[in-house]
Structure 1
Amino acid sequence: MNRTAHPGNQGVQVDHAYPFDPTHGYDLDALLAVPVPEEPDDFAAFWQGLRARAAAVDVDAWAGPPEAEADGVVVRPVRYASLGGVRLGGWLTVPADGRVTRGCVVGHGYGGRDRVGPLPLTRGTAAIWPCARGLGARGTQPGIPSDAARHVLHGIEARESYVHGGCAADLWCAATALLDLVPEAAGRLDYLGASFGGGIGALALPWDDRFTAAALVVPSFGAHPLRLTLPCTGSGEAVRARHASHPETAEVLRYFDAATAAARITIPVHVAAALFDPAVPPPGQFAVHNALAGPRELHVLETGHHDHPGVPAAERSLAASQRAFLCS
């Protein structure tokens, strides 16, 4: 099942003041042909090892008293342990009537998060909204930068120390925390993530069979060999600058390519990818979609990471598309 929602195969024209073309000259046909980077010989062994170490963590999950309640959903603070001895925070949302039929782990963008948001899922969903290590109101850690331009380079000298491996482990441990706190959520566990959360989600999903389906929005970190050649306003620009003076960075990035990992994802995945995006180059986003090995649906966005009057309508359309996919 592969579906694409878009009125045509042309490129998109957007008024902007960026010093480069955020489409990078790609129309939809070209984006759908972006190839998947070849994975390193020990790619699976590296990630399976990381997953095994995360699975051995005692997450020691804690949920505090309600902070808020609205629209039939109760919001509670949550804390849990993750790989490397870090302790992270976030939020837990549960139905006020206590009737849980499914669970969801919700990733965030590189700006972190300081609250929960809307979910395109049923009212019976229990969700955990974790802050990744170093990011967000409840994810700060000593020694890990909190701004995207420095966070994306943290530990990049080696695959064993690169922060993105720890961030993927944070999602696995968040899932464990959710299931420990709300065991009923194990009936169906989904993942939802955008931008940073979309890319880290793609890296994490192949190695955790607890997840049933996923929705990735403008996913980052796809097709690094191509991404290193494309200017942007997001975290990728810091990586491009690092690579220019440290070309060996490319070898580490081979293990953290969201498109390479996506080729091993077999669960159903909904991808929202943008034709125009100054922060996350569209070819990398589409590479993640193109690589997916299981059922997939592509929802084409005209723009990503770019504010304009059409954004609210686009967000409503995307939420409806995600809901139809995940709740079918």
Structure 2
Amino acid sequence: MPQDPPVELTEYSLSALLTPPASPVEPDDFDDFWRATFEEFGTGPVSWELTRDLAPTATHRVSEIRFHSSAGEAAAAYVVLPHTLGSAPRGLVVGHGYGGRTAPDLDRAPDDTAAIFPVAPGTHAGTASRFPALPDEHVLAGIAHRDTYSHRFSAADIWRAATVLLEMVPAAAGALDFSGGSFGGGIGAMALPWDARFRRAVLDVPSFGDHDVRLTRKCTGSGEAVRQHLQRHPEDRPVLDYFDAAIAARRLRIPVHVTAAVQDPAVDPRGQFAVYHALTGPRRLSVRAAGHLPGEIGELSDRLALQAGIDFLALPDERLA
């Protein structure tokens, strides 16, 4: 019996990663599927309610809300609104990694920015969901069909969170951005091409890029659960092509900043760079020494990537040409 490949901890050659790979083959009806999904879940009003106010910061009010998820259940989100909005506030939707979130990432919201931090269906401990919370289970939930796969609803809730934020702060329309890392980066790449309200995006170590490559490598992330599942159920493989961040990224026309790692035990660097290479609009790349690594090197890499994303979203428009 063939042995599973080892977990890949080797640092990839930057020159190899910067060479565009062959593009993954996409389904003929990829656009039709996502446009129909956006029409179903991304248009019209979204009901929401305040759950509780949290401790404010020197610059922002902070609250937790519930909104009606595309999954037909309550979803949680955290909202931070500047004490003084000013005449031209910026808006920001922030995705999260597969560890979920229990609070807003306050360091991602500059003083002039109103931000919403949605929690993907199933990943918030305080809301009941048909989706499991554990990453290795969530990544497989509904995978037998494109209409039922968990990632479809995670992407759709990015749109719905944007609707909620713009209802709260209408003046942020026209200056609405997205930032997401790992799971959130891949989900963001899937969601953004279909929603014209977004102005710019930051994708940090984005997951789900080029499944043909991703599935060749044993890893420490949720991709390993998918790889093992497909060994038992190869009939589910075609579903993943509708949820490939590198295929979706071909449709992105807004300016995008990608931070991609040359070493990452959880998200294959080749898939991260595939998302960057797929972009056809204005794009910028920052190269990380490491992604998803504990310890001092990993923490420093995370901080540098965070600041690079914040700086990109703050650039004047003329700097993005």
Q: Given the two structures, how large is their TM-score scaled by the length of structure 2?
A: 0.91
Give, in angstroms, the shift of residue 19 of structure 1: 5.0
Alpha-carbon distance between aligned partners in 2 of 1:206 and 1:169, rounded to the nearest angstrom: 12
Q: Structure 1 residue 135 and structure 2 residue 129: aligned?
A: no
- Which one of 219, 228, 240 corresponds to residue 232 of structure 1? 219
Q: Structure 1 residue 253 and structure 2 residue 235: aligned?
A: no
Q: Secondary structure at the match of 1:70?
A: coil
Equivalence for 2:166: 179
Equivalence for 2:33: 46
Query: CA separation of 1:116/1:84 partners in 2, compared to 1, >3 Å: closer, same or farther?
Result: closer
Alpha-carbon distance between aligned partners in 1 of 2:84 and 2:154, rounded to the nearest angstrom: 32
Equivalence for 1:29: 15
Q: Structure 1 residue 154 and structure 2 residue 106: aligned?
A: no
Alpha-carbon distance between aligned partners in 2 of 1:107 and 1:159, rounded to the nearest angstrom: 21
Equivalence for 2:190: 203
Equivalent pair of 1:105/1:190 in contact (CA under 8 Å): yes
Alpha-carbon distance between aligned partners in 2 of 1:274 and 1:320, rounded to the nearest angstrom: 15
Alpha-carbon distance between aligned partners in 2 of 1:250 and 1:29, rounded to the nearest angstrom: 30
Gaps of 5+ in 2: 316-321
**Residues 46-67 of structure 1: per-residue CA shift (max 9 Å, x gap):** 0000000013454112235531
- Residue identity in the other structure for 1:133: P
CA-based RMSD: 1.8
Give, in angstroms, the shift of residue 31 of structure 1: 1.4
Q: Structure 1 residue 102 and structure 2 residue 90: aligned?
A: yes
**Residues 108-144 of structure 1: per-residue CA shift (max 9 Å, x gap):** 0001000111344531100001111001345x43321
Alpha-carbon distance between aligned partners in 2 of 1:76 and 1:134, rounded to the nearest angstrom: 20
Alpha-carbon distance between aligned partners in 1 of 2:129 and 2:230, rounded to the nearest angstrom: 26
- The within-5 A match list for 1:244-323 is 244-323=231-310
Alpha-carbon distance between aligned partners in 1 of 2:141 and 2:128, rounded to the nearest angstrom: 12
**Residues 92-111 of structure 1: per-residue CA shift (max 9 Å, x gap):** 00112233611000000001
Equivalent pair of 1:172/1:204 in contact (CA under 8 Å): yes
Greater mean deviation of Cα atoms: 118-127 or 244-253: 118-127
Alpha-carbon distance between aligned partners in 2 of 1:175 and 1:263, rounded to the nearest angstrom: 22
Q: Structure 1 residue 190 and structure 2 residue 177: aligned?
A: yes
Q: Given the two structures, how large is their TM-score scaled by the length of structure 1?
A: 0.89
Alpha-carbon distance between aligned partners in 1 of 2:274 and 2:106, rounded to the nearest angstrom: 27
Query: CA separation of 1:184/1:65 partners in 2, compared to 1, >3 Å: closer, same or farther?
Result: farther
Across the two proteins, how many residue pairs are aligned to each other?
A: 309
Query: CA separation of 1:44/1:269 partners in 2, compared to 1, >3 Å: closer, same or farther?
Result: same
Equivalent pair of 1:121/1:327 in contact (CA under 8 Å): no
Q: Secondary structure at the match of 1:190?
A: strand
Equivalent pair of 1:74/1:96 in contact (CA under 8 Å): yes
Equivalence for 1:116: 104
Equivalence for 2:46: 59
Give, in angstroms, the shift of residue 313 of structure 1: 3.2
Q: Structure 1 residue 125 and structure 2 residue 108: aligned?
A: no
Equivalence for 1:241: 228
- Residue identity in the other structure for 1:296: R
Greater mean deviation of Cα atoms: 203-212 or 70-79: 70-79
Alpha-carbon distance between aligned partners in 2 of 1:60 and 1:20, rounded to the nearest angstrom: 44
- Residue identity in the other structure for 1:179: L
Alpha-carbon distance between aligned partners in 2 of 1:109 and 1:315, rounded to the nearest angstrom: 13
Equivalence for 2:74: 87
- Residue identity in the other structure for 2:59: G
- Residue identity in the other structure for 1:107: G
Alpha-carbon distance between aligned partners in 2 of 1:110 and 1:225, rounded to the nearest angstrom: 21
Alpha-carbon distance between aligned partners in 2 of 1:155 and 1:72, rounded to the nearest angstrom: 41
Give, in angstroms, the shift of residue 37 of structure 1: 0.7
Give, in angstroms, the shift of residue 78 of structure 1: 1.5
Q: Secondary structure at the match of 1:156?
A: coil
Following TM superposition, the consecutive aligned residue runs of length 4 or more in structure 1 with deviations greater than 3 angstroms are: 118-122
Structure of greater relative contact order (alpha carbons < 8 Å, 6+ residues apart)? 1
Q: Structure 1 residue 325 and structure 2 residue 312: aligned?
A: yes
Give, in angstroms, the shift of residue 90 of structure 1: 1.4
